[in-house]
Amino acid sequence: MRRLRGRSVMRITVYGATGAFGARLVDLLRSRDHEVIPAHRGNGVDTYTGEGVAEAADGSDALVDCVNRLTTKPRKAIDFFSRSTQSIARAAAEYPGTAVACLSIAFRPEAAESRLLGYYQGKAMQERIYRRLLPEERLLMFRSAQWFELVDTMTIAAGPVRFVPKMRVQALAVAEAVRMMADSIDAGERGTVEVAGPQISDFAAIARLLAARRAQNAGTKPAKVIGIPLPGPTARDGLIPPAPRMSAVTVDEWLRSV
């Protein structure tokens, strides 16, 4: 850590630097004068095999974990997040002054127990491993609610029809989650921070608004969005954080940037 223009600036390694979140975080941290080491497979860092992970951490004040593997299969999610998390936590153990910020999801325990949500089992494992391997004073568990942008990832298109899971969410824009995590890192926060959007809504309803906005931009008819009911915790409060820090950006405001 050093001082620049009256501010503390850090050297920060971002694992998952090419991802939807990681690429934005790299840009924002650099714009705040931090020195950023982007880490991903394209530059020889593989968190799953461990290759290059410790080297990328050398000399950094903070390591940010925003790697991802998209899967609905619990076994694949647990395997990926277990191995990746252990690689990064082991690298942190080699450099005792280094803090770790893990990007996780603000789900309640029952969501990780649902058979329909296998991915969350991997994220729950990731959180457990970090908490086991790193002392509290070196760990920031940054748990974000779903992003508006996740609608596209979770949409199945069939001709003019879009199938989207019906889930109760308190979604926010990814850019807002990035800003709030950068603020947390800048402030040197540790422990658990949860962030969410300003409104609780249905994921399929957000998908309908997005389809309408895109149709308006293109001067076409909106795609028909069909919400697929998911039984269990996502229909209740399984994805709603109890007392999150809230972004002020509503879905309508976000849609203006689409």
Ligand X SMILES: NC(=O)c1ccc[n+]([C@@H]2O[C@H](COP(=O)([O-])OP(=O)(O)OC[C@H]3O[C@@H](n4cnc5c(N)ncnc54)[C@H](OP(=O)(O)O)[C@@H]3O)[C@@H](O)[C@H]2O)c1
Binding stretches for ligand X (CB under 6 A):
15-22, 40-42, 45-48, 66-70, 103, 105, 123, 144, 146-147, 150
Toward ligand X, which CB reaches closer, 147 or 254?
147
Q: How far is the CB of 171 from ligand X (least distance, A)?
A: 7
Toward ligand X, which CB reaches closer, 10 or 169?
169
Q: How far is the CB of 181 from ligand X (least distance, A)?
A: 10
Toward ligand X, which CB reaches closer, 10 or 181?
181
Toward ligand X, which CB reaches closer, 69 or 245?
69
Instruction: Kindly report the backbone phi and psi dihedral angles of residue 36, in degrees, each rounded to the nearest multiple of 5, phi listed first.
Output: -115, 130
Residue whose C-beta lies closest to ligand X: 19
Q: How far is the CB of 143 from ligand X (least distance, A)?
A: 7
Q: How far is the CB of 254 from ligand X (least distance, A)?
A: 13
Q: How far is the CB of 34 from ligand X (least distance, A)?
A: 18
Q: What are the beta bridge partners of residue 169?
A: 201
Q: How far is the CB of 205 from ligand X (least distance, A)?
A: 16
Written as six digits, the tokens of 12 are 């920060």
Spatial distance between the Cα atoms of 90 and 241, rounded to a whole number of angstroms: 30
Toward ligand X, which CB reaches closer, 47 or 170?
47
Contacts of 56 (CB under 8 A, 6+ apart): 13, 15, 37, 39, 45, 91
DSSP code string of 75-128: HHHHHHHHHHHHHHHHHHHHSTT-EEEEEEE---HHHHH-TT-HHHHHHHHHHH
Spatial distance between the Cα atoms of 108 and 244, rounded to a whole number of angstroms: 12
Q: What distance, in Å, lies between the first and last C-alpha atoms of the chain?
A: 37
Written as six digits, the tokens of 14 are 């971002």
DSSP state of 233: T
Q: How far is the CB of 65 from ligand X (least distance, A)?
A: 8
- DSSP-derived pairing of the beta strands 62-65 and 11-15: parallel
Toward ligand X, which CB reaches closer, 64 or 134?
64
Toward ligand X, which CB reaches closer, 9 or 168?
168
Query: What are the counts of helices (DSSP H) followed by strands (DSSP E) for the chain?
Result: 9, 14
- DSSP-derived pairing of the beta strands 156-158 and 161-166: antiparallel
